[in-house]
Amino acid sequence: MKKELIIGPVVVVVVWWLLTATGLVKPLFLASPLEVTSSLWYQSVDGSLFADIWATVARLVVGFLLAVALGIPTGLLLGASSRLYSAVEIPLDFFRSLPAMAVFPLFLLAFGLGDPAKIAITTWSGALIIVINTMYGVRTAKVGRQAAAKVFGASRYQVFMKVILPDALPQIVAGLRISVSLCLIVVIVSEMFMGTKAGIGMSIYNAGLLYDTPKMLAGIMVAGLVGYLLNKAFAVAERRIVHWSGH
């Protein structure tokens, strides 16, 4: 660990504290670090903090895993067959350009107000990213490696399993990392606008409605922390799993 790493967080907190302590920003818009900390403390004592985190992470994990299960096979299929890809290219480009929030009402109609709607929209958004990255991974796999395998007598199945798939893996894993970040965004937003009993998004939104700025900021910090840890975990896994990436 580099010592310089600590500088950034310290500066942020000090500036934050100065802004509130000097009265430069009104407490309604920015609560002090102390108030936010005590809000976090109260929320953990009454258990609501962990209920919120648990609800959000559970939706995220289920939605993301479904996205992986649907996205990777679909992406492999589209990558392997250029005719199939041409057949779905336009709708695929259309849907990936469509903001997830625009289809919230549609998912509410189809799945109701509960968790299924939130998970479905998370899966939908996350899967599109995975499909596209997996597909590009397969399509940009190095032809020379496949030719080499063919010379050594590999069947089409062997070429796919032993050459194309591992060759596409760095791109697939990168897709997963981008997808999980997007899934977190969609879960949080869906909790804000679809209504629920627990969730980080709900907590932030309700606190905002009630002008409870310390609680709102506490929720924002927790959401940021979850996203940060997810990204870090994926980056570490990426370096280990696809160590050859970029070569």
Partner 1 sequence: MTETKFSSQRVEVDAVCKSFACSGQTPGKCLHILEKISFSVADGEIVSLFGPNGCGKTTLLNIIAGLVAADSGEVRIRREDGEQPGVGYVFQIYGDSLLPWRTALDNIAFPLEIQGINAHSRKEKALELLRRLEILIDGTAYPYQLSGGQQQLVAIARALIADPKVLVLDEPFGSLDYHTRITMEQKLQHIHAITPRAMIFVSHDIDEALLLADRFLLLGSRPATVVNSIQVPEPRPRPPEWVTSKKFIELKTEVLKKFMQTAAL
How far apart are CB 173 and partner 1 at their closest, in Å?
12
Q: Provide the residue count of the chain.
A: 247
Residue 238 interacts with partner 1 (CB under 8 A): yes or no = no
**Count, residues near partner 1 per rule CB under 8 A:** 22
* Contact call for residues 214 and 36 (beta carbons, < 8 A): yes
Query: What mask, x for binding partner 1 by CB under 8 A, covers residues 121 to 140?
Result: --------------------
Residues 6+ away with beta carbon under 8 Å from 178: 129, 133
How far apart are CB 150 and partner 1 at their closest, in Å?
6
**Assigned token pair, 117:** 């709607």
Residue 162 interacts with partner 1 (CB under 8 A): yes or no = yes
Q: Rounded distance, CA 146 to CA 132, Å?
A: 22
- Which is closer to partner 1, CB of 166 or CB of 227? 166
How far apart are CB 72 and partner 1 at their closest, in Å?
17
Q: How far is CA 194 from CA 56, 167, 169, 238, in A?
A: 13, 40, 35, 33
Residue 237 interacts with partner 1 (CB under 8 A): yes or no = no
How far apart are CB 149 and partner 1 at their closest, in Å?
7
Residue 148 interacts with partner 1 (CB under 8 A): yes or no = yes
Number of helices followed by number of strands (H, E) in the chain: 11, 0
According to CB under 8 A, which one of 62, 92, 178, 242 is a site residue for partner 1? Answer: 242
- Which is closer to partner 1, CB of 61 or CB of 154? 154
* Contact call for residues 197 and 232 (beta carbons, < 8 A): no
Interface stretch with partner 1, choices 132-140, 183-191, 228-236, 239-247 (CB under 8 A): 239-247
Residue 163 interacts with partner 1 (CB under 8 A): yes or no = yes
According to CB under 8 A, which one of 9, 23, 99, 144 is a site residue for partner 1? Answer: 144
* Contact call for residues 100 and 124 (beta carbons, < 8 A): yes
* Contact call for residues 42 and 52 (beta carbons, < 8 A): no
34: closest CA among 20, 15, 48?
20
Residue 174 interacts with partner 1 (CB under 8 A): yes or no = no
Burial of 102 (0-12, 13-18, 19+ CB in 10 A): exposed
How far apart are CB 68 and partner 1 at their closest, in Å?
20
How far apart are CB 196 and partner 1 at their closest, in Å?
42
**Assigned token pair, 240:** 């280990």
The footprint of partner 1 (CB under 8 A) covers 142-145, 147-154, 158, 162-163, 166-167, 169, 242-244, 247
